Amino acid sequence: MAVTEQMKELEETLIIRNRKGVIMWKVRDYQQEGWMASGPLINLIMGKHIDIVVSNAAANPTLDHILAIEESSLDKLWEINVKALILLLKDVAPYLCKGSFVILISSVAGYQPGQSMSMYAVTKMALLGLTKALAAEMSPNTNVNYIAPRFVPSHLLRSDPIRNVIKNQILFNKLGTTSDMGAAAVFLASDNTSY
């Protein structure tokens, strides 16, 4: 939730969707202000406006090659990594205010797929296409951007030898952090990106 921590300073209404489907929101209206984990989204935003949407949800249930993936894993990859985001944006679009931001946090795997994460990489490339399409459809009222980091350590990979292999492939010889992603999202949701 580093993005949430970075964005708490903003004075906007914010929706953040994480990999578990939990939607964190900060609402700004006349009656209340605060951070909450949501249930049904539409009940939360009824009568309010939204300034920023950040989606960091992703799943990779398999390391199988594309042609060996079970249909259930293929469905899960597509449902979580692409379809759920489209449905979320469909729900919140009527509440996005003029000057709002949509930020999709994806992966460099979309550009450089590895053999063990091929279908995951396909869904991340789909997010790039989705970002371009949404930017065209939602402008000039909403600015849509995409962050494609390299490997950012998480609970998914605790193996130091594998982390070191990945780190040695990066020019700065450093792994990204969730705080790095939060800072990038804050920048993309600022007036510095108005052009």
> Rounded to whole angstroms, how far apart are CA atoms 50 and 95?
6
What is the pLDDT, as a whole number, of residue 157?
A: 63
What is the pLDDT, as a whole number, of residue 7?
A: 56
What is the pLDDT, as a whole number, of residue 29?
A: 37
Condensed to tens digits (0 to 9), the pLDDT of residues 13-62 reads 455 554 444 455 544 432 333 334 344 444 455 556 778 888 877 788 88
What is the pLDDT, as a whole number, of residue 177?
A: 81
120 is catalytic: yes
Residue 90: pLDDT band (50, 70, 90) is: confident
Question: Mean pLDDT across the stretch 64-86?
Answer: 90
What is the pLDDT, as a whole number, of residue 151?
A: 76
Question: Mean pLDDT across the stretch 149-167?
Answer: 74
Question: Mean pLDDT across the stretch 171-190?
Answer: 84
What is the pLDDT, as a whole number, of residue 125?
A: 94
Residue 5: pLDDT band (50, 70, 90) is: low
Half-sphere exposure of 19 (CA within 13 A, CB side): 12
DSSP string across 86-148: HHHHHHHGGGEEEEEEEEEE--GGGTS--GGGHHHHHHHHHHHHHHHHHHHHHTTTEEEEEE-
Question: Domain range holding 104?
Answer: 2-193
What is the pLDDT, as a whole number, of residue 24?
A: 52
Residue 175: pLDDT band (50, 70, 90) is: confident
Q: Among 111, 120, 146, 195, which one carries the catalytic annotation?
A: 120
Condensed to tens digits (0 to 9), the pLDDT of residues 97-144 reads 888 899 998 888 888 887 778 899 999 999 999 999 999 999 999 999
CATH number of the domain at 101, please: 3.40.50.720
Residue 168: pLDDT band (50, 70, 90) is: confident
> Rounded to whole angstroms, how far apart are CA atoms 158 and 151?
12
Q: How many domains does the chain fold into?
A: 1
Q: What pTM, to 2 d.p., does this model score?
A: 0.77
What is the pLDDT, as a whole number, of residue 129?
A: 95
